[in-house]
C-alpha cells in the first residue's frame, strides 16, 4: 500500500489499482482530496502492473460533494477539472465504487469514470440546487447524457438523491453489487472489463439522449410550469435548467462553458449565500454545548400519545413511519375511533398518490393502536401529551403519568407555549419532562421545537434530538418562555399586521408585501386558511374586533367561502369590499387617522420587531445561537430559505439600520418597539447577529 497523501491510499490488488479516499466525515472534495485523487490516478496510470483502476471511499460514504467550507476561499491543490480530465482520459478502465451517497461533485467525479458500480443502499444525486448552486464540474452536461433530459431536469431542480436501483435503471450505474462486498466485487468488475476488452466509455461523448430532446422546448417549459411555486424567489433552479438547455443545444465543451459562467453567477448570489448558511445552521442546531456527544441515550422502542386529535394523530404517524409502535390514549371512544380513522385515511391518500405501498399502509396503521385506559402507557419509553392548551388539564395528566409510566420514561408535552416547568412540577421526576413542540400538520411539518425545562436531564435532551432526526424532523433546542422561540417571534409580526390595518393598509396589502418577500402567504391569508374562528366563541362575541364582526357575518375563512378575503369556487382569493368596509368602520369608530402606508413600512414594521424579539430571546438564553432562530423560522413558519432567516436577514440589512428603525418606531409608537439591549450592544461593538 502506498500512502499518496494523508487522505488517499493506492494499493494493487493483482492487476487492479485501488485508490481509496478516507477524509471523514463525508469524503468531501477538499484540497487534500483533490490532490490525492490527482496524484493517485497519475501513479495508477503510470504503473505498468495496473490494468484497471477502482476508486472507492472508506467511512460512511462515497464523495458527498465539493467541500462547502472551502467556498469563497482561494483554491489550493489540484483542480477538480484536472482530476476529471485525468480520469476520463485514462488509458485504463476506471471504475467508481459507490456506497453511501455520491452527491454533487462526488457524482460528477463518478461520471468521469468509465463505469460505475454501487451497493443497493447507495444514493446518487446532484443536490447543488439546495445550496443555491448548480453542478459546476460538468454534471449539468453529463447527467442529461446518461439519464436523459427529463430525468436530469427533475433530479437537478429538486436535488433529490436517487436510490441505486433507480440509478441502475437510468444508466447512471452500470451494475449493483452486494452490500458489504463493494470492494471485492468492484475489483472483479474491473478485471472483467479488462478480460473482455470493454470500451473506455466517456459520458461526454454520448449524445443520443440530449439529441432526442433537441427541438423540444416544451420539456423545459413543463418543468418550469410544474414547479413555479417551488422555484419562486430562487435563482438556482432556472440556472440549472439553462445549463441542461445548453447540454441539449450545444457541443459538450460549449455546454461546459455555459455551466462555468452560470456557476459563477449563482455562487456569488445572495440567495446561495443564504442557502449555504442554512445548510450549516441546520447542522449546528444539533450541537448542544452542555450535552456532549457521548451522553447516554434512552432506547425508544414504544411511544404513547395522549390525544387522538389532529395533532396527536399527526405525531403518531411520525413514529409509525419509522417502525416504532405507538399507543394513542383518548378519553372518549368516539374521538379515538375518529382519530384512528383519520390516520388511516391519511395513509391511504398518500398511497393513492404513489407515496407509499398498500403494504406500508397496513404495516404503519398496524403499528398504531388505541386505548381508553392511561395504564396502557405503563410500558412506553416516551409519552407525548397532545391535548388542549389548558394548564389544569395538563397538570392532571402529568400527575397521572408520574404514577403510571415506568422509571426513566420521557414525559413530553406538545404545548405550544405553556410553562413546562409548571407542568413538570407536579411530577416527582422533572428531569424526565421535556417539551416536544410539533407543528401542524405534524406528519408533514419539518420543525420540532424541543423545549428544555429547568430540570430536564441531558439524556432526555440528547435522546429527543436523536429521535427527531430519526423521524425526519429538524430539531432546535429552545428554553421555556411564552410562545417559545417560533410563536414568540410570530407574535410580533401578527401584532404589527393588525395595527397596520388600523392605520390604513388593507389585509391584502400586508399579505402582498410578505408574499413578495418570499413567505408562502401573508398573515391574513393564513388566518383565512386556518379558520378565523379558532378561539372565537360565538356566545361571547360582541363585535369588538374586526375578527368578531367577520365571524359574526359567517365569514370564518376559506371553509365558509369568505374571511378577510372573498373566495370563488376554486378557492381563489379576492380583496373583499365587505372586509374593507368593516375595517373602515372600525377606523372611524376608534377615531384613528388612516394614511397611505408604504410597502416599505409594511415590511419594516413586520420584520424588524421580529429581529428585535430574536435578540431578546438570545439575551434571555432561550435559544442557543442566532442561527437556531433562523432554523426555526425556515422550517416552521415558511421564512424563505434564500433569505436565510430573520437573524441572517438582519445582518444583510445591517444591525445599525435595524436599531435606527426600531428607535424611530419607538419614538412614534411606543415601547413595543424598544430596542433589545443586545441590539444596542451588537451595534456599539460593531458585531453581527451571526456572531451571537
Annotated catalytic residues are 108, 128
Beta bridge partners of 102: 124
Q: What is the DSSP pairing of strand 115-118 with strand 175-176?
A: parallel
Hey, what's the cell of 430?
Answer: 422533572
Question: Binding of ligand 3HC at residue 65 (CB under 6 A)?
Answer: yes
| 66 lies in the site for ligand 3HC, by CB under 6 A | yes
Which listed range, 102-110, 314-322, 526-534, 580-588, lies at the site for ligand 3HC (CB under 6 A)? 102-110
Q: Which is nearer to ligand 3HC, 84 or 457 (CB)?
A: 84
Listed ranges 62-70, 383-391, 449-457, 563-571: which one lies at the site for ligand 3HC (CB under 6 A): 62-70
137 interacts with ligand 3HC by CB under 6 A = yes
Q: Is 692 in the site for ligand 3HC (CB under 6 A)?
A: no
Question: CB of 30: closest distance to ligand 3HC in angstroms?
Answer: 8
Subset of 174-203 contacting ligand 3HC (CB under 6 A) = none
* Least distance (Å) between residue 444 CB and ligand 3HC: 20
CB of residue 86 to ligand 3HC, shortest distance in Å: 17
Site residue total, ligand 3HC (CB under 6 A): 24
Instruction: Count CB-CB contacts under 10 A for residue 482.
Output: 10
The C-alpha atoms of residue 237 and residue 257 are separated, in whole angstroms, by: 18
Nearer to ligand 3HC, 77 or 139 (CB): 139
Measured between alpha carbons, how far is 100 from 64 in angstroms, rounded to an integer? 8
Residue among 131 and 152 whose Cβ is closer to ligand 3HC: 131
CA distance 590 to 605: 21
Q: Which is nearer to ligand 3HC, 156 or 497 (CB)?
A: 156
| Greatest extent of the chain over all pairs of C-alpha atoms, in Å | 93
Name the minimum Å distance from CB 462 to ligand 3HC: 15
Q: Is 128 in the site for ligand 3HC (CB under 6 A)?
A: yes
User: What CA–CA distance (Å, rounded) separates 115 from 190?
Assistant: 9
Q: How far is it, in rounded angstroms, from Cα 689 to Cα 692? A: 5
261 contacts ligand 3HC (rule: CB under 6 A) = no
Q: CB under 8 Å to 489, separation ≥6 — which residues? A: 483, 610, 613, 614, 617, 629, 632, 633, 646
Query: Which is closer to ligand 3HC, CB of 259 or CB of 509?
Result: 259
Q: Does 288 bind ligand 3HC (CB under 6 A)?
A: no
**Beta bridge partners of residue 2, listed in sequence order:** 10
User: Does 64 sit near ligand 3HC (CB under 6 A)?
Assistant: yes
Cis before 25 (ω within 30): yes
Q: Contact between 127 and ligand 3HC (CB under 6 A)?
A: yes
Query: Is residue 259 a contact residue for ligand 3HC (CB under 6 A)?
Result: no
Calpha distance 429→385 (Å, rounded): 16
Q: Is residue 543 classed as helix, strand or coil in its secondary structure?
A: coil
Q: Does residue 614 touch ligand 3HC according to CB under 6 A?
A: no
28 makes contact with ligand 3HC (CB under 6 A): yes
Are 327 and 366 contacting, i.e. CB atoms less than 8 angstroms apart? no
Stretch that binds ligand 3HC, among 23-31, 245-253, 311-319, 592-600 (CB under 6 A): 23-31
Does residue number 640 form part of the binding site for ligand 3HC (CB under 6 A)? no
Answer yes or no whether residue 549 interacts with ligand 3HC by CB under 6 A: no
Dihedral sign, CA of 650, 655, 656, 658?
positive
Distance (Å) of CA 213 to CA 108, 140, 142, 152, 556? 22, 15, 14, 12, 50
List 8, 20, 27, 101, residue binding ligand 3HC (CB under 6 A): 101
Nearest distance, CB of residue 134 and ligand 3HC, angstroms: 7
- Burial of residue 572 (number of CB atoms within 10 Å: 0-12, 13-18, 19+): exposed
Q: Is it true that the peptide bond before 441 is cis, omega within 30 degrees of 0?
A: yes
The verdict on 144 binding ligand 3HC (CB under 6 A) reads no
180 burial level (CB within 10 Å; 0-12, 13-18, 19+): exposed
Alpha-helical runs (H) found in 60-180: 80-88, 105-110, 139-147, 149-158, 164-169
Cβ-based neighbour number of residue 673 at 10 Å:
20
Q: Contact with ligand 3HC (CB under 6 A): which of 26, 149, 213, 506?
A: 26
Using CB under 6 A as the criterion, what x/- string covers residues 221-250 for binding ligand 3HC? ------------------------------
Q: Is 266 in the site for ligand 3HC (CB under 6 A)?
A: no
Confirm or reject binding of residue 255 to ligand 3HC (CB under 6 A). no
Give the other-Cβ count within 10 Å of 54's Cβ: 29
For residue 67, state whether it binds ligand 3HC (rule: CB under 6 A). yes
- 200: nearest Cα among 112, 282, 307, 294: 112
CB of 22 to ligand 3HC, least distance (A): 14
Cβ distance to ligand 3HC smaller for residue 30 or 399: 30
Our CB check for ligand 3HC shows the closer of 123 and 616 to be: 123
Helix (H) or strand (E) holding 18: strand 16-21
Name the segment binding ligand 3HC (CB under 6 A); options: 21-29, 381-389, 526-534, 645-653: 21-29
Q: How far is the CB of 343 from ligand 3HC (least distance, A)?
A: 28
Contacts of 394 (CB under 8 A, 6+ apart): 385, 387, 413, 415, 418, 423
104 binds ligand 3HC (CB under 6 A): yes
Q: Rounded to whole angstroms, how far apart are CA atoms 179 and 539?
A: 65
Q: How far is the CB of 632 from ligand 3HC (least distance, A)?
A: 18
Binding residue (CB under 6 A) for ligand 3HC from 40, 93, 136, 339? 136
- Per-residue interface string for the shown chain with ligand 3HC, residues 105-124, x marking contact by CB under 6 A: x--x----------------
Closest CA to 626 of 572, 692, 581: 692
Check binding of 68 to ligand 3HC (CB under 6 A).
yes
Contact between 69 and ligand 3HC by CB under 6 A: the answer reads: yes
Nearer of residues 471 and 546 to ligand 3HC, judged by Cβ: 471
Q: Per-residue x/- mask for ligand 3HC, residues 308 to 327, rule CB under 6 A?
A: --------------------
Q: 425 CB contacts (<8 Å, ≥6 apart)? A: none
* Distance, CA of 269 to CA of 251 (rounded, Å): 27
Classified as helix, coil or strand, 307 is: coil
Residue choice 36, 77, 135, 245 for contact with ligand 3HC (CB under 6 A): 135
Helices marked H in 553-596: 577-590
List residues binding ligand 3HC (CB under 6 A): 25-26, 28, 64-69, 101, 103-105, 108, 127-128, 131, 133, 135-137, 139, 280, 283
Amino acid at each position: 500500500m502506498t500512502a499518496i497523501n494523508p487522505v488517499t491510499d493506492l494499493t494493487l490488488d493483482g492487476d487492479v489499482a485501488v485508490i481509496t479516499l478516507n477524509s471523514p466525515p463525508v469524503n468531501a472534495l477538499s484540497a487534500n482530496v483533490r490532490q490525492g485523487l490527482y496524484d493517485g490516478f497519475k501513479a495508477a496510470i503510470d504503473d505498468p502492473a495496473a490494468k484497471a483502476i477502482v476508486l472507492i471511499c472508506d467511512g460512511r460514504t462515497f464523495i458527498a460533494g465539493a467541500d462547502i467550507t472551502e467556498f469563497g476561499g482561494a483554491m489550493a491543490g489540484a483542480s477538480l477539472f484536472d482530476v476529471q480530465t485525468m480520469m476520463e482520459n485514462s488509458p485504463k478502465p476506471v471504475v467508481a465504487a459507490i456506497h453511501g451517497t455520491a452527491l454533487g461533485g462526488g457524482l460528477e467525479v463518478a461520471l468521469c469514470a468509465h463505469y460505475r458500480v454501487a451497493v443497493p443502499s447507495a444514493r446518487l444525486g446532484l443536490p447543488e440546487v439546495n445550496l443555491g448552486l448548480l453542478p459546476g464540474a460538468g454534471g449539468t452536461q453529463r447527467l442529461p447524457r446518461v439519464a436523459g433530459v427529463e430525468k436530469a431536469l427533475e433530479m437537478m431542480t429538486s436535488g433529490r438523491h436517487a436510490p441505486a436501483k433507480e440509478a441502475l435503471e437510468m444508466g447512471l450505474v452500470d451494475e449493483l453489487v452486494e452490500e458489504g462486498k463493494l470492494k471485492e466485487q468492484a475489483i472483479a468488475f474491473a478485471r472483467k472489463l479488462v478480460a473482455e476488452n470493454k470500451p473506455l466509455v466517456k459520458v461526454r461523448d454520448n449524445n443520443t439522449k440530449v439529441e432526442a430532446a433537441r427541438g423540444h422546448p416544451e420539456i423545459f417549459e413543463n418543468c418550469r410550469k410544474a414547479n413555479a411555486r417551488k422555484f419562486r424567489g430562487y435563482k438556482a433552479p432556472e440556472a440549472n435548467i439553462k445549463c441542461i438547455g445548453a447540454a441539449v443545444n450545444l457541443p459538450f465543451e460549449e455546454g461546459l462553458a455555459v455551466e462555468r459562467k452560470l456557476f459563477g453567477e449563482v455562487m456569488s448570489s445572495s440567495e446561495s449565500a443564504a442557502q449555504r448558511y442554512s445548510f450549516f445552521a441546520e447542522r449546528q442546531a444539533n450541537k448542544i454545548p452542555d450535552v456532549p456527544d457521548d451522553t447516554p441515550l434512552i432506547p425508544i422502542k414504544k411511544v404513547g400519545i395522549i390525544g387522538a386529535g389532529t395533532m396527536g394523530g399527526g405525531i403518531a404517524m411520525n413514529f409509525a413511519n419509522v417502525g416504532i409502535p405507538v399507543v394513542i390514549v383518548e378519553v372518549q371512544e368516539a374521538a379515538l375511533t375518529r382519530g384512528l380513522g383519520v390516520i388511516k385515511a391519511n395513509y391511504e391518500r398518500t398511497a393513492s398518490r404513489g407515496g407509499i405501498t398498500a403494504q406500508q399502509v397496513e404495516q404503519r396503521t398496524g403499528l398504531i393502536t388505541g386505548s381508553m385506559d392511561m395504564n396502557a402507557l405503563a410500558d412506553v419509553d416516551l409519552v407525548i401529551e397532545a391535548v388542549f392548551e389548558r394548564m389544569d388539564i395538563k397538570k392532571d395528566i402529568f400527575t397521572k403519568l408520574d404514577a403510571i409510566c415506568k422509571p426513566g420514561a420521557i414525559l413530553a408535552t406538545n404545548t405550544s407555549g405553556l410553562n413546562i416547568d409548571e407542568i413538570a412540577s407536579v411530577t416527582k421526576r422533572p428531569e424526565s419532562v421535556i417539551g416536544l413542540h410539533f407543528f401542524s400538520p405534524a406528519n408533514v411539518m419539518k420543525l420540532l421545537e424541543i423545549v428544555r425545562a429547568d430540570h430536564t436531564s441531558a439524556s432526555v435532551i440528547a435522546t429527543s434530538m436523536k429521535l427527531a432526526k430519526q423521524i425526519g424532523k429538524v430539531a432546535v433546542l429552545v428554553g421555556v418562555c411564552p410562545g417559545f422561540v417560533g410563536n414568540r417571534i410570530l407574535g410580533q409580526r401578527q401584532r404589527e399586521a393588525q395595527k397596520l390595518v388600523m392605520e390604513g393598509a388593507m389585509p391584502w396589502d400586508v399579505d402582498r408585501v410578505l408574499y413578495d418577500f418570499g413567505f408562502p402567504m401573508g398573515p391574513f391569508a393564513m388566518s383565512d386558511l386556518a379558520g378565523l374562528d379558532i378561539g372565537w366563541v360565538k356566545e361571547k362575541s360582541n363585535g369588538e374586533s374586526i375578527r368578531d364582526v367577520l365571524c359574526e357575518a359567517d365569514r370564518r375563512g376559506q371553509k365558509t367561502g369568505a374571511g378577510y378575503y372573498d373566495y370563488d369556487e376554486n378557492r381563489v382569493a379576492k380583496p373583499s369590499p365587505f372586509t374593507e368596509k368593516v375595517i373602515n368602520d372600525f377606523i372611524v369608530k376608534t377615531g384613528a387617522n388612516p394614511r397611505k402606508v408604504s410597502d416599505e413600512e409594511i415590511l419594516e414594521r413586520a420584520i424588524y420587531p421580529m429581529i428585535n424579539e430574536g435578540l431578546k430571546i438570545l439575551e434571555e438564553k432561550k435559544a442557543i445561537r442566532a442561527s437556531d432562530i433562523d432554523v426555526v423560522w425556515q422550517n416552521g413558519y415558511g421564512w424563505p430559505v434564500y433569505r436565510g432567516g430573520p437573524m441572517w436577514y438582519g445582518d444583510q440589512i445591517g444591525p445599525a439600520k435595524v436599531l435606527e428603525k426600531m428607535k424611530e418606531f419607538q419614538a412614534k409608537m411606543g415601547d413595543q418597539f424598544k430596542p433589545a439591549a443586545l441590539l444596542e450592544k451588537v451595534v456599539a461593538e460593531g458585531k453581527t447577529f451571526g456572531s451571537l
